[in-house]
């Protein structure tokens, strides 16, 4: 067995009985450990990143919950609309048809003469203006503060300037106004009902597929009929407003040319025409309710289930 060779300087120390301590292998100056901390900007950036990540996660969670809540509300709205439309068709449409028939049989619309809706205008006929002949004396120049129209204006045919009526304002035709107050809520109800049915059928239309689309075609035809009813009902409102505008224009002509009876007769003709139009509008609304009820009831099965489940067995 070979002995490990001991250095000479260690042998000398060992022989003298001294304890030997090996010098450090890499002597050098001692170093104090430094506590390094990140700068303030880095701390702020770290906190900002942490806050942004927390806000992003919170926003994502709230957006997801909000989307689910909105989807649930939309589905609830669809279910309520479908239930409301089915109740409208089966119960409310027959009631409204019966009510409209009873309204058309009332004295306000049935067997009523056109003279019942005539209303006298509150525009008096002024005294005629005497114009002197050519052989007479010269025409007197009217005073500036005089309210009597000048003979020259009467001869020119431009009418008289109306600043105020001596008997007050010209009121609307009261019988026609009463009928308008009765018909307008009925028109509005038809517009709302047709819009509800339109959305109901739109929700019933299935996704687009190849084949087996006979029931879908029935839905589309019914939807087109309902849209035409909605458009026609909205036009009834425009018809009422046009009557008042036309009557106001003719009444202004009566005020400007009070001696011309044709303008007064034109006002009476407009009132009679509007009375007939309101009766016709009420009849058309009754007929539209009947047609919508008939077409929906006859095709209720195809409207609710346009595609049969056993379609594959036909081939």
pLDDT tens string 183-219: 999 999 999 999 999 999 999 988 887 777 888 899 9
Of the chain, the end-to-end C-alpha distance in Å amounts to 102
18 located within any domain:
no
269 located within any domain:
yes
Does residue 144 surpass a pLDDT of 80? no
User: 212: left (phi > 0), else alpha (psi -120 to 50), else beta?
Assistant: left
Q: Report which of 295, 287, 314 is spatially closest to residue 222, judged by C-alpha positions.
A: 295
| Token pair recorded at residue 63 | 């957006």
Banded model confidence at residue 160, pLDDT cuts 50, 70, 90: low
Does residue 315 surpass a pLDDT of 50? no
209 located within any domain:
yes
User: Any residues with CB less than 8 A from the CB of 200 and at least 6 apart, and which?
Assistant: 81, 82, 85, 86
280 located within any domain:
yes
281 located within any domain:
yes
- Cα(257)–Cα(251) distance, rounded to whole angstroms? 10
The Cα-based distances of 60 to 66, 155, 279 in angstroms read 10, 83, 60
Specify the number of domains making up the chain: 1
176 located within any domain:
yes
Mean pLDDT value across the chain: 79
- CATH code, 233: 1.20.120.180
pLDDT the model gives residue 213: 81
| pLDDT tens per residue across span 101-130 | 999 999 888 878 888 888 888 888 877 766
Does residue 174 surpass a pLDDT of 70? yes
| pLDDT tens per residue across span 264-281 | 999 999 999 999 999 999
Three-state secondary structure call for residue 139: coil
| Token pair recorded at residue 281 | 């509008």
- Cα(240)–Cα(248) distance, rounded to whole angstroms? 13
69 located within any domain:
no
Q: Are 119 and 271 in contact, with CB atoms under 8 Å apart?
A: yes
Give me the domain span that covers residue 248: 74-119+171-300
- Worst-scoring range by mean pLDDT, 64-78, 145-159, 216-230, 241-255? 145-159
172-179's contacts with Cβ under 8 Å and 24+ in sequence apart are 172/244, 172/247, 173/117, 173/119, 173/247, 173/271, 173/274, 174/119, 175/116, 175/117, 175/119, 175/271, 175/275, 176/117, 176/243, 176/271, 176/274, 176/275, 176/278, 178/108, 179/108, 179/109, 179/275, 179/278
Three-state secondary structure call for residue 249: helix
Instruction: Count other C-beta atoms under 10 Å from residue 49's C-beta.
Output: 10
- Cα(98)–Cα(147) distance, rounded to whole angstroms? 58
152 located within any domain:
no
């Amino acid at each position: 067995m070979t002995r490990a060779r001991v250095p000479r300087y260690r042998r000398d120390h060992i022989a003298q009985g001294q304890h030997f301590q090996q010098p450090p292998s890499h002597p050098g100056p001692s170093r104090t450990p430094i506590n390094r901390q990140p700068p303030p900007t880095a701390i702020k950036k770290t906190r900002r990143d942490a806050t942004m990540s927390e806000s992003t996660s919170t926003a994502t969670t709230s957006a997801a919950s909000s989307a689910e809540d909105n989807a649930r509300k939309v589905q609830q709205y669809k279910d309520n609309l479908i239930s409301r439309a089915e109740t409208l068709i089966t119960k409310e449409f027959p009631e409204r048809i019966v009510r409209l028939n009873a309204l058309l049989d009332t004295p306000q619309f049935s067997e009523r003469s056109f003279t019942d809706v005539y209303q006298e205008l509150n525009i008096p006929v002024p005294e005629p203006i005497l114009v002197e002949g050519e052989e007479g004396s010269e025409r007197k120049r009217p005073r500036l503060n005089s309210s009597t129209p000048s003979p020259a204006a009467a001869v020119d045919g431009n009418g008289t300037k109306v600043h105020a009526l001596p008997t007050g304002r010209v009121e609307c035709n009261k019988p026609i106004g009463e009928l308008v107050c009765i018909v307008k809520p009925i028109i509005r109800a038809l517009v709302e009902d047709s819009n509800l049915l339109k959305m109901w059928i739109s929700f019933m239309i299935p996704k687009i597929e190849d084949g087996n689309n006979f029931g879908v075609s029935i839905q589309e035809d019914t939807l087109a009929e309902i849209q035409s009813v909605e458009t026609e009902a909205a036009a009834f409102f425009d018809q009422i407003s046009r009557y008042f505008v036309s009557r106001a224009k003719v009444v202004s002509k009566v005020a400007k040319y009070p001696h011309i009876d044709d303008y007064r007769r034109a006002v009476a003709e407009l009132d009679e025409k509007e009375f007939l139009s309101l009766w016709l509008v009420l009849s058309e609304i009754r007929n539209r309710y009947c047609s919508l009820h008939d077409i929906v009831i006859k095709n209720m099965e195809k409207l609710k289930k346009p595609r049969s489940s056993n379609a594959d067995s036909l081939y």
